[in-house]
Structure 1
Amino acid sequence: MPFLTRREFTLILFALSAFLIAYNYESSFSSLSTAALFPGANNSFSATQLLSVQDAFRDDGRRNTKYTDDLESEILGDWEIETRKQHDLGPYGLTENNQFSDWSNGDIPQTKLVGHVPGYTILENVLLANGALYLVHNLASQIFPKTEMILSTGIDVPGSNLPPVSQELKFLTRSQALDIIGYGAHRMANTTIICFDHPHSITNETFLAFYRAYSTLSPPVQTKSGPLPPSQIILPNVPRDSLSETAYYPSYQLSRIAFPFLNHIFSEDFTDFGKTERPIILDQVLLTDRVAAESGTQTFDFSADVKAPFSEEDEVAIDGKKSKKTKKKEYEIREATLIEPIDKRLPFASAFALPAPHNWVSPLSAGALILPPPQSLTTHTKKSKKARKAVTYVSTQARSIREPQLREADHENLLRELRKAGEANGFDVYVVELGSERIEGAVGTWRNLVSAAVRSSVMLGVHGDTLTYAPLLQPGSGATVIEFFPDGKFVNDHEFITRSLDIGYVAWRNTKKYTRGNLPPISPITRADSRLLSIDVHAVVNFVKEQLRK
Structure 2
Amino acid sequence: MARSRSLRDALLVLVGALCMHLATSFFGVFQPDLFSGDIIVNTQVNNHEAAPQNPLPDTHKDIERPLVIDTSVADVVDDFAETVIESHAPGWTVFTNLYMSNGTLFVISSRPSSEFPDIRLITSTGLPAENTPENIAARMPTAKDIDFITPTEARARWGASLDLAESHRNRVYPIHGSTFLFNDPQQFLDHYYHFCAELLLGAWAMWQGTHNVQVEPARADAFDAPPVTRAIFAHTDATGWRDRPGFNSYFLRAAFPDTTVETQADWQDRVAATAAHGAHARAWRLERVLLADRSAAFRGVVCGTQVHRTAGEAFHHMRNLGALPRWWWEPVRRAVLRFADVPGAAIERGVRAAMRADQGLPVPAPDERVVVTYVNRQGVRRHLIDADHDALVAAIEKLCAERGWEFNDAKAELLSKEQQLELVARTTVLLGVHGNGLTHLIMMSPTPVSTVIELFFPGGFAHDYEWTARALGHKHFAVWNDTYHTYPDLPWVDYPEGFQGTRIPVHAPTVINIIEERVAGRLP
Does TM, scored on the shorter chain, surpass 0.5? yes
* Per-residue CA distance 1:214-249 (angstroms, 9 max, x = gap): 2223334454324544221110111003443589x6
Letter of the 2:328 partner, please give it.
Answer: W
Q: 2:292 aligns with which of 288, 291, 295?
A: 288
Unaligned runs of 5+ in 2: 1-44, 160-169, 275-281, 319-323, 344-364
- Are the counterparts in 2 of residues 130 and 275 from structure 1 also a CA contact under 8 Å? yes
Are 1:197 and 2:172 an aligned pair?
A: no
* Per-residue CA distance 1:391-410 (angstroms, 9 max, x = gap): 221121111xxx32111122
Letter of the 1:408 partner, please give it.
Answer: D
Q: What SS does the aligned partner of 1:405 have?
A: coil
1:149 maps to 121
Letter of the 2:377 partner, please give it.
Answer: T
Q: What SS does the aligned partner of 2:204 have?
A: helix
Are 1:122 and 2:120 an aligned pair?
A: no
- Are the counterparts in 1 of residues 308 and 463 from structure 2 also a CA contact under 8 Å? no
- Are the counterparts in 1 of residues 392 and 507 from structure 2 also a CA contact under 8 Å? no
- Are the counterparts in 1 of residues 185 and 235 from structure 2 also a CA contact under 8 Å? yes
Q: How much does 1:470 deviate?
A: 1.4
Instruction: Map 1:436-447; keep pairs closer than 5 Å.
Output: 436-437=413-414, 443=415, 445-447=416-418
Compared with structure 1, are the counterparts of its residues 385 and 457 closer, same or farther at alpha carbon in structure 2 (3 Å cutoff)?
closer
2:165 maps to none
Compared with structure 1, are the counterparts of its residues 509 and 116 closer, same or farther at alpha carbon in structure 2 (3 Å cutoff)?
same
- Are the counterparts in 2 of residues 498 and 504 from structure 1 also a CA contact under 8 Å? yes
Q: 1:219 aligns with which of 212, 217, 229?
A: 212
Q: 1:279 aligns with which of 283, 287, 293?
A: 283
Q: Which moved more, 1:446-455 or 1:523-532?
A: 523-532
Q: 1:448 aligns with which of 409, 416, 419?
A: 419
Q: Residues of 2 paired with 1:119 and 1:184: CA distance?
A: 30
Q: Residues of 1 paired with 2:55 and 2:486: CA distance?
A: 77
Compared with structure 1, are the counterparts of its residues 99 and 417 closer, same or farther at alpha carbon in structure 2 (3 Å cutoff)?
farther
1:33 maps to none
Are 1:108 and 2:76 an aligned pair?
A: no
Q: What SS does the aligned partner of 1:219 have?
A: coil
Q: What SS does the aligned partner of 1:200 have?
A: helix
Instruction: Map 1:94-105; keep pairs closer than 5 Å.
Output: 96=69, 101-104=74-77
Q: How much does 1:195 deviate?
A: 0.8
Are 1:134 and 2:106 an aligned pair?
A: yes
Q: Which moved more, 1:513-522 or 1:526-535?
A: 526-535
Instruction: Map 1:523-542; keep pairs closer than 5 Å.
Output: 523-526=494-497, 530-542=501-513
Are 1:408 and 2:386 an aligned pair?
A: yes
Are 1:208 and 2:201 an aligned pair?
A: yes
Q: How much does 1:387 deviate?
A: 5.6
Letter of the 2:93 partner, please give it.
Answer: T
Q: 2:376 aligns with which of 380, 395, 416?
A: 395
Q: Which moved more, 1:361-370 or 1:343-352?
A: 343-352
2:313 maps to 350
Compared with structure 1, are the counterparts of its residues 360 and 528 closer, same or farther at alpha carbon in structure 2 (3 Å cutoff)?
closer
Are 1:178 and 2:150 an aligned pair?
A: no
Q: What SS does the aligned partner of 2:81 have?
A: coil
Q: How much does 1:415 deviate?
A: 2.5
Letter of the 1:272 partner, please give it.
Answer: D
Q: What SS does the aligned partner of 2:291 have?
A: strand
- Are the counterparts in 2 of residues 461 and 467 from structure 1 also a CA contact under 8 Å? yes
Q: Which moved more, 1:409-418 or 1:505-514?
A: 409-418
Figure out how many residues of one structure are paired with residues of the other and give that number: 412
Unaligned runs of 5+ in 1: 1-18, 24-46, 49-56, 62-87, 299-338, 375-383, 438-442
Q: 2:330 aligns with which of 362, 365, 374?
A: 362
Compared with structure 1, are the counterparts of its residues 372 and 238 closer, same or farther at alpha carbon in structure 2 (3 Å cutoff)?
same
1:426 maps to 404
Q: How much does 1:59 deviate?
A: 9.6
Percent of residue pairs identical: 23
Q: How much does 1:288 deviate?
A: 1.0
Q: How much does 1:122 deviate?
A: 0.9
- Are the counterparts in 2 of residues 455 and 474 from structure 1 also a CA contact under 8 Å? yes
Letter of the 1:181 partner, please give it.
Answer: W
Q: Which has the larger radius of gyration?
A: 1
Q: Residues of 1 paired with 2:213 and 2:450: CA distance?
A: 25
Output the TM-score relative to the length of structure 2: 0.69
- Are the counterparts in 2 of residues 218 and 357 from structure 1 also a CA contact under 8 Å? no
Q: How much does 1:509 deviate?
A: 0.5
1:269 maps to 266
Q: CA-atom RMSD, angstroms?
A: 3.8
Q: Residues of 1 paired with 2:249 and 2:107: CA distance?
A: 29
- Are the counterparts in 1 of residues 126 and 183 from structure 2 also a CA contact under 8 Å? no
Q: What SS does the aligned partner of 1:412 have?
A: helix
Q: How much does 1:461 deviate?
A: 1.0
Q: How much does 1:372 deviate?
A: 4.7
Q: How much does 1:543 deviate?
A: 2.6
* Per-residue CA distance 1:46-95 (angstroms, 9 max, x = gap): x99xxxxxxxx99979xxxxxxxxxxxxxxxxxxxxxxxxxx9x99xx98
Q: How much does 1:483 deviate?
A: 0.8
Q: Residues of 2 paired with 1:273 and 1:448: CA distance?
A: 40
Q: Residues of 2 paired with 1:507 and 1:111: CA distance?
A: 45
- Are the counterparts in 2 of residues 232 and 262 from structure 1 also a CA contact under 8 Å? yes
Report which of the two has the higher share of helix.
Answer: 2
